[in-house]
């Protein structure tokens, strides 16, 4: 069955860095776009970033552009999110999710989600 | 402030039919398909409806979705206690060049 397992969350000081990972199994990882979505405590969902199946294309929310970098290793079935210059407002549970594209090749819906990893940015 | 607008709360009694609205604009719902996610308490979101009105395998037919213009709706018929959850609509936004979510609707089964 499809499994996505995030890791790497924790407590970090403002201005610090953290790298999240997502280990994937149960489908052909190299065939799918992947994404990170976050949820601040008690708040709604916010899309963070996505990456195409072969890493050709990446996209970021304006709130993280220039600070976060998404990457993937298709040989290891692994997705990563490097987070730099962290701010208090980045505090959230970070979910990795499989992103299915529409027939035109455009991002469409998130059909499988991991359980999330909590990132807390505080001094 | 979310790009897509949902009511913060909704409620119903067991067996009742409940609808949750999602309002957007020409750059998101007006142009692209709408998806709905269910988040049970203390769990990850789960895809509930995709492509406006399609149910993934395993989702009961009590859940249905529709779209008209720049708005969409999720309907839940035969409401059950286990439907108590947060529901989010989402769509791709061509102006923002990324997926956007509604603020979420907390459904309470009375």
**Phi/psi-derived region of residue B38, left when phi > 0, alpha when psi is between -120 and 50, beta in every other case:** beta
Cross-chain Cβ contact A45/B101 below 8 Å: yes
Residue B72 has a pLDDT of 98
Can you name the residues that pair with B37 across neighbouring β-strands? B47, B88
pLDDT in tens, B1-24: 899 999 999 999 999 999 999 999
* Contact yes or no for B101/B34 (Cβ under 8 A): no
Residue A103 has a pLDDT of 85
Residue A87 has a pLDDT of 98
A58 contacts in B (CB within 8 Å)?
none
Can you name the residues that pair with A43 across neighbouring β-strands? none
SS3 A88: helix
* Contact yes or no for B102/B6 (Cβ under 8 A): yes
Candidates A50, A102, A116; nearest CB to B44: A116
Residue A105 has a pLDDT of 82
Measured from the Cβ of residue B60, the count of other Cβ atoms closer than 10 Å reads 12
Task: Write out the residues of chain A at the interface with chain B, using a CB-CB cutoff of 8 A.
Answer: 35, 37, 44-47, 50, 59-62, 95, 100, 102, 106-116
Alpha carbons within 13 angstroms on the beta-carbon side of residue B28 total 24
* Contact yes or no for B106/B43 (Cβ under 8 A): no
Mean pLDDT per 10-residue interval, chain A, length 123 residues: 97 98 97 98 97 96 98 98 98 98 89 98 97
DSSP A19-87: EEEEEEESS-GGGSEEEEEEE-TTS-EEEEEEE-TTSS-EEE-TTTTTTEEEEEETTTTEEEEEE-S--
Residue A104 has a pLDDT of 82
Residue A106 has a pLDDT of 85
Candidates B32, B35, B44; nearest CB to A113: B44
To the nearest whole Å, the CA of A1 is away from the closest chain B CA by 14
pLDDT in tens, B26-77: 999 999 999 999 999 999 999 999 999 999 999 999 999 999 999 999 999 9
Residue A37: name the closest of A105, A98, A107 by CA: A98
Residue A17: name the closest of A69, A63, A57, A55 by CA: A69
Measured from the Cβ of residue B85, the count of other Cβ atoms closer than 10 Å reads 21
Residue A120 has a pLDDT of 98
């Amino acid at each position: 069955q499809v499994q996505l397992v995030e890791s790497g969350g924790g407590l970090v000081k403002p201005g610090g860095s953290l790298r999240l990972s997502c280990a994937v199994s149960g489908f052909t990882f190299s065939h799918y776009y992947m994404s990170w979505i976050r949820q601040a405590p008690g708040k709604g969902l916010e899309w963070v970033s996505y990456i195409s199946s072969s890493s050709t294309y990446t996209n970021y929310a304006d709130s993280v552009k220039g600070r976060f970098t998404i990457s993937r290793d298709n040989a290891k079935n692994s997705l990563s999110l490097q987070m730099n210059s962290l701010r208090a407002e980045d505090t959230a549970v970070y979910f990795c999710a499989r992103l299915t594209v529409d027939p035109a090749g455009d991002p469409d819906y998130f059909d499988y989600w991991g359980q999330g990893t909590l990132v807390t940015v505080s001094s | 402030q979310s790009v897509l607008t949902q009511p913060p709360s909704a409620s119903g009694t067991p067996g009742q039919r409940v609808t949750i609205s999602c309002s957007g604009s020409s750059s998101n719902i007006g142009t692209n398909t709408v998806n709905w996610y269910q988040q049970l308490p203390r769990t990850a979101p789960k895809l509930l409806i995709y492509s406006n009105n399609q149910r993934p395998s395993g989702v009961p037919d009590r859940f249905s979705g529709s779209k008209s213009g720049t708005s969409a709706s999720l309907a839940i018929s035969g409401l059950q206690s286990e439907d108590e959850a947060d529901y989010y609509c989402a769509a791709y936004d061509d102006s923002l060049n990324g997926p956007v979510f509604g603020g979420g609707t907390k459904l309470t089964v009375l």
